[in-house]
Amino acid sequence: MEFHEGAAAATGDGVLDFSRLNLSTLNVDSVSDERKHDTKQMYLNNNRLVSLPSSICLFSNLEFLDISNNGLTTLSEGITRLTKLRTLLAKNNRLNEYSLPKEFGSLHLEVLNFSGNRFEEIPLQCTQMLRLQSLSLGGNRLKSIPPEIENLTSLELLYLGGNLINAIPPEVANLPFLTYLVLCDNRIQSVPPQLTRLNSLRSLSLHNNLLTYLPREILSLVHLQELSLRGNPLVVRFVKEMTYDPPSLLELAGRTIKSRNIPYHPHELPDNLLHYLDLASKCPNPKCAGVYFDSCVRHIKFVDFCGKYRLPLMHYLCSPECTSPCSSNPQSDAESEDESSVPADRLQRVLLG
Ligand SMILES: [Zn+2]
């Protein structure tokens, strides 16, 4: 099917709107060379295209391309010659990781939307786009997030809701500008404590997953304003594990030196012991002045957020005795912990139920 330029809505300079024309092929012969050269935005969404033909590369100054809501199964090599393309919207097609040209990662995209497709993994080409600020792959069949995600150091928005993801790799924490992280409607069972390094994070969407607790470190996400947790078993089921290996003699000695502030000098001890003593962690129980090294108890404690919400946070205590003030019933576990209370003005929305 051939379309005529007259059929396209002339919405302004540099814009070609071929959306909703029932197109099954793209024939651009009727578009003048000058128009091709001048086109910066092209809308091909809501048609019946099965593949994006190489003739797209004739629009060499294209900055924005919307090919959403077609039946696309492949993107041709031609797209990789659109060196000025910054935004590619390809929502709701039939694309998977085999649909993309090998050199797709050489595009200088800032916004890429592949939501509503058939990707089973995040294509490696996507992790090569170092200028990417917004990556959306919601509503696909993703089972995991590759560690290479950490290459996308310009990323501000990562939308991966509605997939089959069962874990968050710690490499996600290496995205310094990440502001919106959407991982709702997946199968995630835990949040890595490293996420606390996401200093720019303002919104964390984790609803409808399989979370039973949050790492205590989540309290240090100082810019977090929105946290959605509804539809997780964490509020319903209280988890408490009491597996505890007795501390070694080395650990007991180390604990004594640290908790009683026994002085020591670098020349008195071998390097490995000095290093070991540096690894001491302070027991987070405010009623305990102790430290621990390798031997500790994993403990889930409900903590008040903003005076309204109680979140199950995981932390490690120095010994099983340290948990005695805490009850296994979250409702009666009402003691307040000054160090873990959160200023009410910080989290503006916590969606639990
Ligand atoms: Zn303790």
What is the distance in A from the centroid of ligand 1 to the CA of 316? Answer: 9
What is the distance in A from the centroid of ligand 1 to the CA of 249? Answer: 18
Provide the 3-class DSSP secondary structure of residue 169.
Answer: coil
pLDDT of residue 116: 98
Q: What pTM was estimated for this model as a whole?
A: 0.75
- Domain 5-228 belongs to what topology? 3.80.10
Provide the 3-class DSSP secondary structure of residue 301.
Answer: strand
Contact 195/215 with Cβ under 8 angstroms?
yes
Provide the 3-class DSSP secondary structure of residue 184.
Answer: coil
Instruction: Identify the residue with better confidence: 233 or 274.
Output: 274
What is the distance in A from the centroid of ligand 1 to the CA of 271? Answer: 27
Supply angle C-alpha 10, 12, 16, rounded to 5. Answer: 55
**pLDDT digit string, tens, across residues 130-179:** 999 999 999 999 999 999 999 999 999 999 999 999 999 999 999 999 99
| Nearest alpha-carbon partner for 233 in 204, 210, 207, 214 | 210
pLDDT of residue 336: 37
What is the share, in percent, of the chain residues with pLDDT greater than 70?
82
Strands (E), the chain: 15-17, 41-43, 51-52, 64-66, 74-75, 87-89, 111-113, 134-136, 157-159, 180-182, 203-205, 214-215, 226-228, 281-282, 291-292, 297-305, 309-317, 349-351
What is the distance in A from the centroid of ligand 1 to the CA of 324? Answer: 10
What is the distance in A from the centroid of ligand 1 to the CA of 270? Answer: 27
Distance CA 330, CA 309 (A): 12
What is the distance in A from the centroid of ligand 1 to the CA of 153? Answer: 38
**pLDDT digit string, tens, across residues 117-139:** 999 999 999 999 999 999 999 99
What's the chain's average pLDDT? 84
pLDDT of residue 311: 74
**pLDDT digit string, tens, across residues 278-298:** 999 988 787 888 899 888 877
What is the distance in A from the centroid of ligand 1 to the CA of 15? Answer: 65
How many whole angstroms from its chain centre is CA 48?
Answer: 32
**pLDDT digit string, tens, across residues 302-334:** 666 655 566 777 777 888 777 644 433 333 333
**CB within 8 Å of 14: residues ≥ 6 apart:** 38, 39, 40, 41
Q: What are the boundaries of each domain within the chain? A: 5-228, 249-292
pLDDT of residue 244: 63
pLDDT of residue 161: 97
Instruction: Identify the residue with better confidence: 296 or 55.
Output: 55
Query: What protein residues have CB closer than 5 angstroms to ion ligand 1?
Result: 283, 285, 288, 290, 317-318, 322
For 249-266, what is the mean pLDDT? 92
What is the share, in percent, of the chain residues with pLDDT greater than 90?
59
Distance CA 266, CA 250 (A): 18
Supply angle C-alpha 223, 228, 229, rounded to 5. Answer: 125
pLDDT of residue 8: 52
pLDDT band for 220, please (50, 70, 90 cuts): confident
What is the distance in A from the centroid of ligand 1 to the CA of 331? Answer: 22
**Scanning the structure block, which residue is given the tokens 């003699």?**
249
Asked if the model's pLDDT at residue 51 lies above 60, the reply is yes
What is the distance in A from the centroid of ligand 1 to the CA of 258? Answer: 13
**Scanning the structure block, which residue is given the tokens 């900055």?**
63
**pLDDT digit string, tens, across residues 336-348:** 333 344 444 555 5
pLDDT of residue 12: 61
What is the distance in A from the centroid of ligand 1 to the CA of 297? Answer: 9
Provide the 3-class DSSP secondary structure of residue 131.
Answer: coil
